[in-house]
């Protein structure tokens, strides 16, 4: 892999789902407000409970799953490694060791599923498939185009997904077809079609330093972008970031109809958009349907206010 900047410098089409919820709910002590929706022609989905996976940099990396009523429990063991990610179901962690080994851990079990990968470059994080059964990762290359591989969580079924310039902070679309990441030069985002193996440059994305997620159909991407000349960081996961949603086909920005200081956003595989909003005592998660209508507002635990948010568990 050829990175044209040192590691320290590396860093419309939303699927619309109508959701049916009761008018109000309280789940496991998490304050939740949900909107009514018509039951005609809907796809039912359960309200979110506030369960999530958080991380923090504090003398190494700590990854914890939060469950309302149960609190925080550690699930990750990448220690001082900066190339890590959590599965959508909140039960597993993947990370790359300083030896270039891709490891997957769940419960007390740790399995090495790939070797010989680029190590020590924070932005080259593995990513999980929507069903939490596969991991995608970046292989080594002497050119701008780097190979991306996919492997089952038990190490079987390894295959090539294609080659791309967008190798940093890979995100996997909910339909399983697309991977997106930003270039090591922090000047573009590329989308890789894992069905055809072809990679294309996304329109409308400039100076990205993080790719958070893709809409279920892979068309819209949530990114963190800086202005020209601003620092791009070291390529590590940003604990809090200002999200921008871009239609990768038209290049237009997609409005986020949520007020306040936004510090993150995620697409869920079912099409819901979850926006993280900063608060004085705690942050909130605002859940929107594909039309931008508010479905829920969930209070995060106060302890998570300065923590990074890796996954929201449906």
- Per residue of the chain (314 residues), what is the pLDDT tens digit? 445 443 333 333 333 333 333 333 333 334 444 443 333 334 457 999 999 999 998 778 899 999 999 999 998 767 667 899 999 999 999 999 999 999 999 878 899 999 999 999 999 999 999 999 999 999 998 888 999 999 999 999 999 999 999 999 999 999 999 999 999 999 999 999 999 999 999 999 999 999 999 999 999 999 999 988 888 888 889 999 999 999 999 999 999 999 999 999 999 999 999 999 999 999 999 999 999 999 999 999 999 999 999 999 99
Q: List b or e across 199-216, with b for residues whose CB sees 16 or more CB atoms inside 10 angstroms.
A: beebebbebbbbbbbbbb
Residue 278 CB burial class (10 angstroms; 0-12, 13-18, ≥19): middle
107: left (phi over 0), alpha (psi -120 to 50) or beta: left
Residue 307 C-alpha from the chain's centroid: 15
**DSSP conformation class of 157:** S
Residue 38 CB burial class (10 angstroms; 0-12, 13-18, ≥19): exposed
3-class secondary structure, 9 = helix
Give the whole-angstrom CA distance, residue 233 versus residue 131.
31
Contact indicator for 156, 197 with CB cutoff of 8 Å: no
Give me 28's structure tokens: 């496991």
Give me 119's structure tokens: 């190590």
Tally the residues of the chain: 314
Position 24 scores a pLDDT of 35
Contact indicator for 115, 102 with CB cutoff of 8 Å: yes
Of 216, 268, 280, 209, nearest to 239 by C-alpha is: 209
Position 149 scores a pLDDT of 98
Residue 234 C-alpha from the chain's centroid: 18
Which CATH fold would you assign to the domain 7-312? Neuraminidase (2.120.10)
Instruction: Report H helices in the chain.
Output: none
Position 81 scores a pLDDT of 78
Per-residue CA distances from 188 to 152, 176, 181, 223, 250 (Å) = 29, 22, 9, 11, 15
Indicate the domain borders of the chain: 7-312
Give the whole-angstrom CA distance, residue 34 versus residue 37.
9
């Amino acid at each position: 892999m050829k990175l044209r900047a040192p590691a320290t410098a590396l860093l419309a089409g939303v699927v619309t789902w109508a959701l049916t919820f009761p008018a109000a709910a309280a789940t496991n002590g998490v304050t939740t407000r949900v909107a009514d929706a018509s039951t005609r022609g809907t796809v039912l989905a359960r309200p979110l409970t506030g369960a999530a996976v958080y991380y923090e940099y504090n003398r190494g990396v700590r990854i914890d799953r939060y469950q309302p009523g149960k609190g925080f429990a550690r699930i990750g063991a990448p220690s001082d490694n900066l190339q890590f990610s959590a599965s959508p179901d909140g039960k597993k962690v993947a990370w790359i060791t300083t030896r270039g080994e891709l490891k997957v851990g769940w419960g007390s079990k740790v399995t090495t599923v790939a070797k010989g990968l680029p190590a020590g470059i924070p932005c080259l994080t593995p990513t999980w498939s929507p069903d939490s059964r596969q991991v995608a990762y970046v292989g080594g290359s002497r050119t701008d185009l780097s190979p991306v591989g996919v492997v089952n969580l038990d190490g079987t079924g390894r295959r090539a997904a294609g080659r791309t310039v967008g190798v940093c902070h890979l995100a996997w679309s909910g339909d399983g077809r697309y991977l997106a990441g930003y270039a090591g030069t922090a000047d573009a985002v590329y989308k890789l079609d894992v069905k055809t193996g072809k990679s294309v440059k996304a329109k409308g994305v400039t100076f990205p330093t993080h790719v958070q997620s893709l809409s279920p159909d892979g068309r819209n991407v949530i990114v963190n972008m800086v202005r020209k000349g601003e620092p791009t960081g070291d390529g590590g996961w940003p604990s809090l970031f200002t999200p921008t949603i871009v239609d990768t086909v038209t290049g237009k920005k997609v409005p986020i109809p949520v007020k306040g200081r936004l510090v993150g956003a995620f697409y869920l595989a079912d099409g819901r958009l979850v926006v993280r909003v900063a608060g004085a005592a705690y942050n909130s998660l605002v859940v929107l349907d594909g039309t931008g209508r508010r479905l829920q507002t969930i209070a995060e635990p106060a302890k998570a206010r300065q923590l990074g948010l890796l996954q929201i568990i449906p």
